[in-house]
């Protein structure tokens, strides 16, 4: 019964996010600030992770394709694997950790220290100011950060290939991009906007409903990561199925 | 109410509020005329802070009505509630400063949201307000770098930013040294006498209550058990009120 109440409450919260996101006045300034805090500040993590993933993926791809004498396909294979699935999913999960935990903890702390009440008392709609701005920022930031992960992943792949066989940068990227089609890149990148929505909405919901002081803040932060990661993985299955429906291989 | 009485700034009529099985406010009624100062006294956990939150619409009563400047708070539209809140300053018990922005920006925040004042004017007003509470050198500090008492004073500066018609203060002098507490009391008295701001102050500090409050309301277990001037409450024959009024210690 309690679970049903929570699910109903979360559904209402999500519906409100949709409604308030499209209703003026918009909090442009705060949304930009959140884009910087949540998006720009995530670039080092995403770039470094993408680079490392690219190197590892390239080494694995080489190990597989070399058996068949198909080393020339390594850039294309790696690029497709990155842009279709590895980049979006890895970026989503990494950001559910960084952004989800951050939003859950920040809003949780604001709740228990009455800062959210103070916002309301100052005649500011705390839902629009705190929640909607973060959701919009995440929806915008995730596809951009995923693109950065894809790009740095390819760079990592190039470094691995260059080290292994001295392949020049131009050749590597020509081979990589020649195989990528619209249906590989765009739907997979845009699906991360849904990931962003899930991460920010789940973390915000848990944050603004925090109780029990600092212990509650810790719980909100942890649960934000766990729940948003689970929902993100589940949503990914549905979204991939949807992409295959519209763009059959 | 006689014709000569000023209109009520805040009026509670038979307000009841419960959290689960616990009734925090139980048939609470009182009236605060505009421009008057009232202190709410009572032991911890008797519903004093909850009373303030009803005034600004952060909580709605389970039954009864809360009128602010003649309008029922729980029935206001979002826009009207926003306008009503812009006329109310609220100093929270723990100041509730926004900890991601600097102290000066905290004070500027309400002005940036609700006025068209030029940037320079907002800054100079924020500095003036901080100077009023003795924090003229702390504009650029982060809230985390302030002591509890300094945070409280910064919270008071923020609450005064929009020159509110009604000021709600939840234990404004708690945690302050006697000299600073006296300065805050003097500031509140000045607001009362010079600007005729309606003050609703929650305090445990009896000397502060005597200084600030033209009348006092005593809450006990969610009920108003006594109200009147400080002298009337001091002469009360209700034991808990007598003991409370006789304790001259600070909060």
Hey, where are the domains in chain A? 27-246
In a domain, B94, yes or no: yes
Q: Could you report the per-residue pLDDT of B123-140, keeping only the tens digit for each? A: 999 999 999 888 999 999
Report residue B67 as tokens.
């009128």
In a domain, B60, yes or no: no
Whole-number pLDDT of residue B4: 59
In a domain, B8, yes or no: no
- Residue B251 confidence (pLDDT) above 60: no
Whole-number pLDDT of residue B5: 66
In a domain, B63, yes or no: no
Q: Could you report the per-residue pLDDT of B46-72, keeping only the tens digit for each? A: 889 999 999 999 999 999 999 999 999
- Residue B250 confidence (pLDDT) above 60: no
Q: Is the peptide bond before B40 cis (omega within 30 degrees of 0)?
A: no
Find tokens 């992960």 and name the residue.
A149
Cβ contacts of residue A61 below 8 Å, gap of 6+?
A74, A77, A78, A81, A157
* Whole-angstrom distance, CA of residue A160 vs CA of residue A57: 9
In a domain, B5, yes or no: no
Establish if A234 touches chain B: CB-CB under 8 angstroms: no
- Of A69-73, A190-194, B170-174, B175-179, give the range with the top mean pLDDT: A190-194
- Residue B229 confidence (pLDDT) above 60: yes
B161, B108 contact by CB (below 8 A) = yes
Query: Nearest CA of chain A to the CA of B169: how many Å?
Result: 12
* Whole-angstrom distance, CA of residue B226 vs CA of residue B243: 13
Q: What is the mean pLDDT of residues B88-117?
A: 94
Find tokens 């005034």 and name the residue.
B55
SS3 of B11, please?
strand
Whole-number pLDDT of residue B230: 87
Which of B85, B98, B99 is nearest residue A123 as measured by Cβ atoms? B85
Which residues in chain B have Cβ-Cβ distances shorter than 8 Å to A117?
53, 58, 92, 96
Whole-number pLDDT of residue A69: 80
Neighbours of A134 (CB within 10 A): 29
* Whole-angstrom distance, CA of residue B89 vs CA of residue B110: 10
DSSP string covering B142-177, please? -GGGS-HHHHHHHHHHHHTTT--SEEEEESTTTT--
Q: In this structure, what CATH number is given to the domain that contains residue B119?
A: 3.40.50.300
CB pairs under 8 A between A and B: 50
Whole-number pLDDT of residue B44: 84
Q: Cβ A118–B88 below 8 Å, yes or no?
A: no
Compute CA distances A105 → A39, A54, A208, whole Å: 17, 31, 10
Q: Suggest the residue from B80, B90, B151, B161 to mutate for an interface test with chain A (most A CBs closer than 10 A).
A: B90
The alpha-helical segments, DSSP class H, found in A97-181 are 101-112, 115-121, 126, 133-165, 169-178
Query: Nearest CA of chain B to the CA of A99: how many Å?
Result: 16
* Whole-angstrom distance, CA of residue B218 vs CA of residue B68: 20
Whole-number pLDDT of residue B1: 46
SS3 of B250, please?
coil
- Residue B152's closest CA among B209, B208, B96? B96
Which domain range does residue B138 map to? 36-47+83-246
User: How would you classify the pairing of strands B22-33 and B223-228?
Assistant: unpaired
Query: Nearest CA of chain B to the CA of A127: how many Å?
Result: 12
Cβ contacts of residue B232 below 8 Å, gap of 6+?
none
In this prediction the ipTM stands at: 0.90
Buried/exposed B14-34: b ≥16 CB within 10 Å, e otherwise: ebebeeeeebbbbebebbbbb
The alpha-helical segments, DSSP class H, found in chain A are 2-21, 28-34, 43-65, 74-81, 87-95, 101-112, 115-121, 126, 133-165, 169-178, 182-208, 213-246
pLDDT mean for each 10 residues of chain A (249 residues) = 87 94 89 95 96 94 84 88 94 96 95 95 94 97 97 95 90 90 89 97 95 89 95 95 87
Neighbours of B198 (CB within 10 A): 27
Whole-number pLDDT of residue B248: 62
Whole-number pLDDT of residue B239: 87
Q: Suggest the residue from B54, B57, B92 to mutate for an interface test with chain A (most A CBs closer than 10 A).
A: B92
A160, A60 contact by CB (below 8 A) = no
- Residue B43's closest CA among B209, B241, B250? B241
Find tokens 């009024």 and name the residue.
B245
Least confident of A68-72, A121-125, B105-109, B194-198: A68-72
Q: Cβ A117–B113 below 8 Å, yes or no?
A: no
Query: Nearest CA of chain B to the CA of A182: how many Å?
Result: 41
Give the count of domains, chain B: 1
- Residues 34-53, chain A: which have Cβ within 8 Å of B? none
Compute CA distances B230 → A76, B186, B210, whole Å: 84, 17, 6
Buried/exposed B131-153: b ≥16 CB within 10 Å, e otherwise: ebbbbeebbeeebeebeebbbbb
A62, A156 contact by CB (below 8 A) = no
Whole-number pLDDT of residue A148: 97
Whole-number pLDDT of residue B25: 93
SS3 of A25, please?
coil
Work out the angle between the directed axes of helices A43-65 and A87-95 (0-180°, nearest 10): 140
- Residue B249 confidence (pLDDT) above 90: no
């Amino acid at each position: 019964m309690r679970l049903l109440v929570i699910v109903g409450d979360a559904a209402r919260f999500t519906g409100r996010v949709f409604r308030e996101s499209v209703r003026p006045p918009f909090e442009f300034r705060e949304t930009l600030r959140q884009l910087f805090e949540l998006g720009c500040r995530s670039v080092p993590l995403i770039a470094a992770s993408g680079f490392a993933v690219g190197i590892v993926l390239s080494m694995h791809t080489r190990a597989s394709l070399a058996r068949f004498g198909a080393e020339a396909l390594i850039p294309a294979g790696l690029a497709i694997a990155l842009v279709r699935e590895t980049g979006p999913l890895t970026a989503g999960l990494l950001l559910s950790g960084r952004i989800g935990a951050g939003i859950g903890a920040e809003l949780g702390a604001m709740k228990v220290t009455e800062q959210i009440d103070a916002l309301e008392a100052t005649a500011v709609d705390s839902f629009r100011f705190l929640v909607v701005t973060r959701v919009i920022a995440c929806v915008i930031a995730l596809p951009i950060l995923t693109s950065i992960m894809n790009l740095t992943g390819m760079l990592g792949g190039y470094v691995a290939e260059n080290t292994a066989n001295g392949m020049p940068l131009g050749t590597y990227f020509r081979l990589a991009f020649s195989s990528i089609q619209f249906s590989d890149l765009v739907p997979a990148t845009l699906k991360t906007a849904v990931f962003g929505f899930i991460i920010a909405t789940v973390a915000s919901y848990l944050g603004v409903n925090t109780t029990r002081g600092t212990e509650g803040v810790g719980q909100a932060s942890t649960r934000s990561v766990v729940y948003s990661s689970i929902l993100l993985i589940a949503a990914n299955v549905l979204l991939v199925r949807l992409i295959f429906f519209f763009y059959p291989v | 109410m006689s014709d000569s009485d000023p209109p009520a700034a805040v009026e509670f009529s038979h307000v009841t509020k419960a959290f689960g099985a616990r009734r925090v406010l139980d048939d609470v009624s009182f009236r605060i005329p505009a421009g008057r100062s009232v202190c709410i006294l009572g032991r911890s956990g008797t519903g004093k802070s909850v009373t303030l939150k009803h005034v600004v619409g952060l909580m709605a009563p389970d039954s009864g009505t809360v009128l602010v400047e003649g309008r029922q708070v729980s029935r206001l539209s979002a826009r009207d509630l926003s306008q009503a809140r812009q006329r109310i300053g609220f100093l929270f018990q723990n100041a509730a400063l926004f900890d991601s922005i600097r102290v000066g920006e905290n004070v500027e925040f309400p002005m940036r949201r609700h006025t068209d004042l030029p940037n320079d004017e907002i800054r100079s007003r924020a500095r003036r307000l901080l100077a009023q509470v003795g924090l003229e050198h702390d504009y650029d500090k982060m809230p985390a770098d302030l002591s509890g008492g300094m945070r409280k004073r910064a919270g008071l500066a923020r609450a005064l930013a929009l020159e509110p018609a009604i000021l709600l203060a939840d234990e404004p002098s708690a945690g302050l040294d006697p000299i600073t507490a006296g300065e805050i009391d003097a500031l509140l008295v000045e607001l009362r006498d010079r600007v005729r701001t309606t003050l609703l102050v929650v305090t445990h500090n009896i000397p502060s209550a005597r200084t600030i409050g033209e009348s006092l309301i005593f809450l006990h277990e969610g009920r108003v058990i006594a109200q009147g001037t400080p002298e009337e409450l001091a002469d009360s024959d209700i034991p808990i009120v007598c003991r409370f009024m006789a304790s001259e210690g600070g909060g």
